[in-house]
Structure 1
Amino acid sequence: MGVKTYSDSNVATKYNFQRKAGRSLIERPAVFSPDGESVLVIVENVVRVYNIQTGDCARILETESSVNELVAIQFPDNENYNLYGCSDKGWVTTWTWENGAVLRETKLPIQLGMKVLTFNLLDSNECFVTTAKPDSKYIVYGLYSIKTGEKIFEFWDTKILYIENMINVAVGWCNGDRFAAITNGTPKLSIQNLNQPHVKQFIINSNKIRIMSVAAHKKENTVAITDALGRTTVFRGNFYQYGTNLAREVLHWHFLPSIAVCFSMQGSYLYTGGMEKVLVKWTVGNLANKAGEKMFIPRLPGMIRHIATSNSYIAATLTNNSIVIANAQMRVVSTILECGGLSPAARALGFPLVHHARLGGLLLGGRSGHLQLYSTTTDKVLYNIDITGLNNIPPLRHNLVPLDTEVTCAAVSGNGSWLATSEYRNDGVTYPEERLKFWAFQVKNATPFKLNTCVNLSHGGCRVVSIALSTKGETCVTAGVDQKFRIWKRDNTTQQHRKKESWSCLTACYYSSGIGQFLAHGVMNHFKNGELPPRDKEHPYVFEYEGKNDIIKKMVNIHKENSLLDEISANPGIKKDVENDMGGVAISQDGSLIAAWFGSKLTLWDTHLCNLRTTLSHPALRPKGVHVKFGNKDAAHYLVCATEKCVAVWSLLSLTIKWLVSISATSLAADPLSNKMALTTTNNDVYVFTPHSPTPILTQKRLLDPATGVFKQCAFGSCSGDDIRLHVVRNDSEIYSLEPEQSSEGRLEVLSRRNLPISGFSALLAEQRLSEVRPAASADVSALHTDALAHSAMSQLLSAAPHMIPPVSLLCTSFLHHIAGHEDTEPAAAEDNDIMEVDLSSDDEDQPTTKLNGPYAPKTTQLWAPNYEKVKEKRLQKIVKEPLLNLHETTDIFGV
């Protein structure tokens, strides 16, 4: 068996590690451009400008100074040609909107250690900024000059409690003075007059229910707030005379806390949204005939975090890392989408990462019940594939954590023709929902996959932890928490003279009894006995802030909250049995063997007979195996397995460990097109290796700080030659790519195909046909033209693809002589004598004048007769004296 080795003598390829997708679009509200044709989104430290109609990123605005994060961007009301933005450290940047150039950068005098929370423009000269330290108890806010950066006034008298990620500020007008309305997740609304610092007021929400967000009218004395009960309250009048000259209007449709509110540009409408995933449009202006009218955009793919408006459009920022843009008639126009937006249940149950070579993209988790197809070429999300086909289930007041049916595992066959997915839902009350689905790949359709087979309760209601598909998509193996793995076969049947493919379960395999954990499932026992967990009638989160465990604060930041995973991942009522817990499963390249983890025991099973062949164990593999992969190509006789503490390679020929390395692996991937494998570690290291040797081919140490997130999944991408292209996912949404560095030396010259012929050989024929219709000329001129055409034809022939070149036997000897660099050594007199000789064969010397035969050959009156004996003698002498081809020069030309 031949083994492909990687020698150190080869030139080392440089690799670049960069983030491709997964940046958060939803940390800050979007802003519409003055012309209403674009929407501006803050993405970390840059501003992306998206076209509203197409949803494509048109340009990116960057700062000149290095900033960590942008807090806010805004266009002043009195001018439309400059954009202002502020960073978390107090750098205010002014861009020109037409060309995106940085006009000015100003540093605000922010104290050391303070972080800017909000930034609101009063006009093109002044701004209102709130700041706080991470460990401070109260926030600090004041007025600053944008042009000079000096502090105009700082408000020290008012004490507003600092609650992280819950500070909201709205700037409006009241009796001709500017004011700032501030909320912090408590029942208190603070109103601060910015022109008269001593004038301020506190408004307590009715029933002392916590205020979630605030919005101010742009022209009138009007403020709107939303609270934790789902109500929207509109205040009108003099805010500084609370109780006497202040009118209150309550709008109540939301059942759950509403966390976003915004007025329209003219103030006649109010938009609210929250955890129900519904955008509501209220009529609150002077339209008497439409007072109290509501319009809805239901079934949005995520909770609404921010709302922005323009004269023609509304932008709703959702927790699934997308922005939905709708028109004034509440019809969705476009969607700006980025990878990410996983729900807490999806993060707890796990999410897939699979590379589909035929589609040229990655299949990874998305919003609830969906898979995203991310194109690695265009860096865009091409499809949102609905796997579950179910509507979202809204949370309840006693449990705000959403528990929708989530996609837990996915696998693609080696040829890309089949996709297998599993979905699961367990709320701890009803019987768990669990399904296994098989999808057939289709080329010409709106979606790339079509549902072929759906199996309800494929593992009796227990979650599937691993799926493997064979190379040709004929066999599938699924492993569940019921300590069993099932073998599925694809069958071809004929129904009504039509061939139909479907999947069926061949058998279920287990190492122990396989039923103990299933019977000890507490949820199932509660379901059978009719026992339901008690529910609290009162909900403390509606009235009081609960500190670090505040559920509303977690729901507002649900896209990056990890503490909600404990209850879901605990899987209540299940008895832990690590000794026989199922881990990863894999199918060999030829489809004859199945490898499955049962605790610390790695078992091998016959795919066709469905019996246990052998058990592989080692003390270093305890307590539990996690990943397992078969080698490919010349490493097909190796089996690579990984636990939380080590990686081992087994030889299937001798059933012994070839090598073992102590390492904390988080994921393991195998390249289906080569013998390479890759693994990631808890320290964010990446190793690419072959099972033949423990020495890695490529090592990348600590690519990112583990404190910010650990690599959880990896997959090989399509690459040419021995290069490596690896995709890794961190923090459930951030996609990074490790790919070869592009250099100018290896690039091919881009040629225009407009004037090129079909092939190099057709170019040669075209020149010959063209020469037949040319007018007769003198011998010297004709020879020059023929030489030029010959050189051009040969250069095109040699530059053509090998499969387009005709066989050597069809090429004339003179052409081969010219390729081999042969020079005629005969005297000139002999050439003159040979001009009149005609050789009917194609093996004679290249004489351009004798090639002009046919109907367009020049007329001559000289009579001649062929002398075959002389030609034969001359040919034999040339063969004896010189070889037909110079092998050394031919080798250099063709690279043999």
Structure 2
Amino acid sequence: MGVKRQTDTNLTKYVLNRKAGRSIIERRPVFSPDGESLAIIVENIVRVYNIQTGDCVRTLESETPINELVAIEFPENEDYNLYGCSDCGCVITWTWEKGAVLREAKLQLPKDAKVLTFNLIDSNECFITAMEPANTQLYTASYSVRSGALNYEFATTRPLYYDIVRVSMGWCNGDRFAAVTNGTKVLFIQNMYKPHMRTQIVNHNKFRILSVSAHHRESAIAITDTIGRVTIITGNLYDYRTVAREVLHWHFLPPFAICFSVIGNYLFSGGMEKVLVKWTLGHLANKANEKAYIPRLPGMIRYITVNSSNIAITLSNNSVVIASAQMRVVSTILECGGISAASRARSWLVYHRPLDALLLPGRTGHLQLYSTATDKVLYNIDITEMNNLPSERRNLLPLETEVACAAVSADGSWLVTSEYRNDGINYPEEKLKFWSAQSKNTTPFKLNTCVNLSHGGCNVVSLALSNKGEFCVSAGLDQKFRIWRREKSSQTHRKKIIWSCLTACYYSSGIAHFLANPVLNNFKTGDVSLGKTEDSPYLKDVDEEDIIKKVFNLHKERTGFSRVEDDVFRKHDGDMGGVAISHDGSLIAAWFGSKLTLWDTHLCNLRTTLSHPALRPKGKHVMFGNNDAAHYLVCTTENCVAVWSLLSLTIKWLVQLKPMWLAGDPFSNKMAVITDNNDLFVFRPQSSEPILTRKNIVDPQTGVFTQCAFGAPIGDKVRLYIVRNDAEIFCLEPENSKAHGLEVMSRRNLPLSNFSALLAEQHLSEVQPAVPVSGQALNMESLGNTAISQFLSGAPHMVPPVAMMCTSFLQHLSGYEEIEEPQDEEDKEMEVDPQSSDDEDSSTPTLIGKHTPKATELWTPNYDNVKEKRLKKILNKPLLDLHTTGTLFGL
């Protein structure tokens, strides 16, 4: 059994480990034959999760390096092999019981073709659709999964490629067929054994078809369209004129997923309403047209997979919900990520030390609490406590209230969050909330104080908390920062801790935002829909900016988007940037445009203003140093990192780069900055020479790192968590730290013989490798005493004859010493154990004299203090006590 670990061989001291945030919703999952596990594709590997606990129990990977897997599937009537296909056409067969790679075959695809879908016809053949670089039509063909040879190329069935391709395999007239939809109004039916038998079924009313599912036994298929209808088509599917249609209509928005039950008595559908619908089909007379629901799911439904007892629902928030056949949620498989697209533009990351967890944005209105110890999402904290706004057909992406900013005190006792919504029509919704940490509760934080319109309806851009959570500073687009203090309010029967605003500070007038934005002064009237509206033509036609495609791939959005942007205020000289509180809580640093200001915390007045031509046009982050660097102030702009000395009010050093984020360790003097080309620098404010540098740690084309935070250190070493714009979490930590690994099943796990099955793959041994003598400081005296004690501790009849003992050993027992020339350094006297001396006397033969021939010695003992005493004992006392010996042997 191997252990998969991700290490970087180019790094000698630190390694960059990919912790969490991979997408588990790109492909459709499958249930295991026993129904106890769920296999999910995660890029180029397959994770196997337990249904009841939601834990990952093992991981399957290929022997040949691949980019990503496009599909996995168990063949019908077989329960011992799992088949998968990569985008390059590599078909892998795993044995499910052992999890080892049984076979790998390369499909004979056209040059540079990329596989889009993979479906098994049986255990020997598969049907694939692929995209060729120079062709806008899909390539459809059947291949042998054992040899990779081409069986049939369906040249007449080549639909256009529109990024939404769904395929389902079914039965019609005893033959296997494939139903293919490409996101248009046409459904393509192709016989697998008779290439000439094919048809095209056009959806009535010309609405676009989004998903398709074929019945497992009967000649029937179910499709969903953009207007929300579910249509069941039965009959001879190769003749579109004779088919029968049954329309089921509950969905108001486009459904992205549909699936028949195993027996075929039920049909499951779901989409943008975040509701799973279970339809009872018409041939069950007692329950015809009956529906069951699982409402209020945390994301849009992308895929639905069923077996005889469970339902797997893949959601857009990077999670898979497992439900029973009775429509009750059993467990949830949740991975980091699933960040709402609107919050990606203003993302942040904070580390909570008591919980050893990261707080980062989650789905709409939520925070994710990711445990760095277990690499799991512990909580989804509902910050806004609001229902999701329903979508409309002309506005599929409504503007919802998002968490704009968050901060945690150094001791982890308080959390402060800001939420914001501005549709450009109604007055902006803006709240500042203070949360107290809970040690013994079902949730880690409890709401303490909620301040509505804390900045008059302007968005909060930065938050800072003191180390012990005594006061907070919030900066907003109203060009002011406000100081909030924790107080005790006396009520009738109890004392309660609340937060109140102490004062508001501004550098200029602080009213430019209100003068320029009429939304903050009066309400607009008119027949305008909230947010960004989409026209209805997407229901029937496919254009270049397809809103259906955008919604379906919303989880891939990296840059984020916002509906109402106040660009005019971003160019103003008085725009607020980052704020910070000093380690002792006496100073507040705040950016006002390109001017860095210092304020007294207790008097709430301006102490000084720091400016420099290199800090133009606008500051971004600011942070005070800690410990021995408390008299330094580190700040960043769009083009540089600068360190100010608070003693002389001058710049100590400045480095020109393009920083993305500045982070500091609240318990040490270390800081870190990441740049737009994924360079990482860890430094101390005292010196411009970094203590740790990593250039281009990840290719910027795959994603740009946007935030970082210091984790719990390992001694004096650094542990830094970094988040990419696709919500993936990386950790830069020492290479000798304990890394978390998942069990990997591959061909290497197969035993070579019956005997090798009894042996462990990894052997542990106490034998240490040989080390040169010059590299060790050996204590020869202690080693010699230990060896002699072990030799003489045995029974007398177990001691070897005298004739077989080596000369040097006997010389050591007799106290022989070679006369040597005096040396500069005197040898230390060897300590003699009196008890061991008695044992030696009883075992020393009387035949040994002083004039024994000289032998080669490994080392020379020194017995100056006991030499004469030992020789007298040897000469005066007999070797054996005849009386004692006779008594023992009965003589």
Measured at CA, do residues 530 and 151 of structure 1 come closer, stay the same or move farther in structure 2, by a change above 3 Å?
closer
3-state DSSP class of the match of 2:636? strand
**Residue identity matched to 1:637:** H
Partner of 1:409: 405
Partner of 1:593: 587
Match of 2:425 among 422, 429, 439: 429
Q: 1-side partners of 2:715 and 2:737: how far apart?
A: 16
How many Å apart are 1:343 and its aligned residue?
1.2
How many Å apart are 1:150 and its aligned residue?
0.4
Match of 2:270 among 260, 270, 273: 273
The aligned runs of 1:30-41 (5 Å cut-off) are: 30-41=29-40
1:464 aligns with 2:453: no
Q: Residue deviations 1:477-532, cap 9 Å, x none? A: 01111111111000022323423111000111111111121232254467255573
1:442 aligns with 2:438: yes
Partner of 1:615: 609
Partner of 1:775: none
The aligned runs of 1:437-516 (5 Å cut-off) are: 437-516=433-512
**Residue identity matched to 2:679:** D
Partner of 1:674: 668
Q: 2-side partners of 1:285 and 1:590: how far apart?
A: 73
> Is the Cα contact below 8 Å between 1:522 and 1:572 reproduced in 2?
no
Q: 1-side partners of 2:82 and 2:473: how far apart?
A: 56
Q: Residue deviations 1:278-310, cap 9 Å, x none? A: 111111152111111111111111111111001
Match of 1:220 among 218, 221, 240: 218
Q: Residue deviations 1:31-62, cap 9 Å, x none? A: 00000111100000100000000000011011
Q: 1-side partners of 2:728 and 2:134: how far apart?
A: 28
> Is the Cα contact below 8 Å between 2:579 and 2:591 reproduced in 1?
yes
Measured at CA, do residues 439 and 86 of structure 1 come closer, stay the same or move farther in structure 2, by a change above 3 Å?
same
Partner of 2:317: 320
Q: 2-side partners of 1:252 and 1:309: how far apart?
A: 21
Q: Residue deviations 1:292-344, cap 9 Å, x none? A: 11111111111111110010011110110000010011110000000000111
Q: 2-side partners of 1:687 and 1:105: how far apart?
A: 43
Q: 2-side partners of 1:827 and 1:297: how far apart?
A: 84
Q: 2-side partners of 1:827 and 1:558: how far apart?
A: 83
3-state DSSP class of the match of 1:226? strand
Q: 2-side partners of 1:426 and 1:47: how far apart?
A: 42
3-state DSSP class of the match of 1:446? coil
> Is the Cα contact below 8 Å between 2:425 and 2:525 reproduced in 1?
no
**Residue identity matched to 2:236:** N
1:552 aligns with 2:551: no
3-state DSSP class of the match of 2:302? strand
**Residue identity matched to 1:270:** L
Partner of 1:626: 620
How many Å apart are 1:538 and its aligned residue?
5.5
Partner of 1:242: 240
TM-score (structure 2 length as normaliser): 0.80
Match of 2:648 among 654, 662, 678: 654
Q: 2-side partners of 1:508 and 1:198: how far apart?
A: 77
Partner of 1:260: 257
> Is the Cα contact below 8 Å between 1:269 and 1:285 reproduced in 2?
no
Measured at CA, do residues 536 and 551 of structure 1 come closer, stay the same or move farther in structure 2, by a change above 3 Å?
closer
Q: How many pairs align?
A: 737
Partner of 2:128: 129
**Residue identity matched to 1:584:** G
Q: 1-side partners of 2:537 and 2:607: how far apart?
A: 58
Match of 1:300 among 287, 297, 300: 297
1:86 aligns with 2:85: yes
Measured at CA, do residues 29 and 236 of structure 1 come closer, stay the same or move farther in structure 2, by a change above 3 Å?
same
Partner of 1:699: 693
Q: 1-side partners of 2:132 and 2:685: how far apart?
A: 51
Q: Residue deviations 1:440-473, cap 9 Å, x none? A: 1110110111110000111111111110000110
Partner of 1:364: 360
Measured at CA, do residues 537 and 122 of structure 1 come closer, stay the same or move farther in structure 2, by a change above 3 Å?
closer
The aligned runs of 1:676-755 (5 Å cut-off) are: 676-742=670-736
Partner of 2:149: 150
> Is the Cα contact below 8 Å between 1:71 and 1:86 reproduced in 2?
yes
**Residue identity matched to 2:90:** W
3-state DSSP class of the match of 1:553? helix
Paired-residue identity, %: 65
Q: 1-side partners of 2:167 and 2:321: how far apart?
A: 23
3-state DSSP class of the match of 1:325? strand
**Residue identity matched to 1:450:** K
Partner of 1:384: 380
**Residue identity matched to 1:612:** L
> Is the Cα contact below 8 Å between 1:61 and 1:100 reproduced in 2?
yes
Measured at CA, do residues 511 and 454 of structure 1 come closer, stay the same or move farther in structure 2, by a change above 3 Å?
same
> Is the Cα contact below 8 Å between 1:187 and 1:208 reproduced in 2?
yes
> Is the Cα contact below 8 Å between 1:526 and 1:532 reproduced in 2?
no
> Is the Cα contact below 8 Å between 2:663 and 2:673 reproduced in 1?
yes
Match of 1:420 among 411, 416, 432: 416
Partner of 1:758: none
Structure 1 residues without counterparts, runs of 5 or longer? 1-11, 745-749, 751-783, 785-820, 829-896
**Residue identity matched to 1:437:** K
Measured at CA, do residues 596 and 826 of structure 1 come closer, stay the same or move farther in structure 2, by a change above 3 Å?
closer
> Is the Cα contact below 8 Å between 1:67 and 1:87 reproduced in 2?
yes
Q: 2-side partners of 1:58 and 1:827: how far apart?
A: 60
Q: 2-side partners of 1:825 and 1:340: how far apart?
A: 69
Q: 1-side partners of 2:540 and 2:525: how far apart?
A: 36
**Residue identity matched to 2:621:** H
Measured at CA, do residues 399 and 119 of structure 1 come closer, stay the same or move farther in structure 2, by a change above 3 Å?
same
Measured at CA, do residues 710 and 242 of structure 1 come closer, stay the same or move farther in structure 2, by a change above 3 Å?
same
> Is the Cα contact below 8 Å between 1:712 and 1:732 reproduced in 2?
no
> Is the Cα contact below 8 Å between 2:140 and 2:157 reproduced in 1?
no
1:396 aligns with 2:395: no
Partner of 1:161: 160
3-state DSSP class of the match of 1:506? strand
Q: 2-side partners of 1:13 and 1:652: how far apart?
A: 37
**Residue identity matched to 1:422:** S
> Is the Cα contact below 8 Å between 1:517 and 1:574 reproduced in 2?
no
**Residue identity matched to 2:444:** P
3-state DSSP class of the match of 2:555? coil
Q: 1-side partners of 2:610 and 2:533: how far apart?
A: 51
Partner of 1:61: 60
Measured at CA, do residues 682 and 743 of structure 1 come closer, stay the same or move farther in structure 2, by a change above 3 Å?
closer
> Is the Cα contact below 8 Å between 1:189 and 1:211 reproduced in 2?
yes
Partner of 1:805: none
Measured at CA, do residues 88 and 538 of structure 1 come closer, stay the same or move farther in structure 2, by a change above 3 Å?
closer
Q: 2-side partners of 1:65 and 1:46: how far apart?
A: 12
1:578 aligns with 2:572: yes
How many Å apart are 1:367 and its aligned residue?
1.0
Partner of 1:769: none
Q: 2-side partners of 1:217 and 1:526: how far apart?
A: 58
1:332 aligns with 2:329: yes
3-state DSSP class of the match of 1:696? coil
Measured at CA, do residues 427 and 123 of structure 1 come closer, stay the same or move farther in structure 2, by a change above 3 Å?
same
Q: Residue deviations 1:57-106, cap 9 Å, x none? A: 01101111101100100000021110000000001011001010111111
Measured at CA, do residues 441 and 135 of structure 1 come closer, stay the same or move farther in structure 2, by a change above 3 Å?
farther
Q: 2-side partners of 1:527 and 1:429: how far apart?
A: 7
Q: Residue deviations 1:748-803, cap 9 Å, x none? A: xx9xxxxxxxxxxxxxxxxxxxxxxxxxxxxxxxxx9xxxxxxxxxxxxxxxxxxx
Higher relative contact order (CA 8 A, sep 6+): 2
Q: 2-side partners of 1:428 and 1:573: how far apart?
A: 14
Q: Residue deviations 1:587-637, cap 9 Å, x none? A: 000001111111111111111111111111111111111111110110000
Partner of 1:867: none
How many Å apart are 1:822 and its aligned residue?
12
Partner of 2:179: 181
3-state DSSP class of the match of 1:140? strand
Partner of 1:110: 109
3-state DSSP class of the match of 1:116? strand
How many Å apart are 1:426 and its aligned residue?
2.0
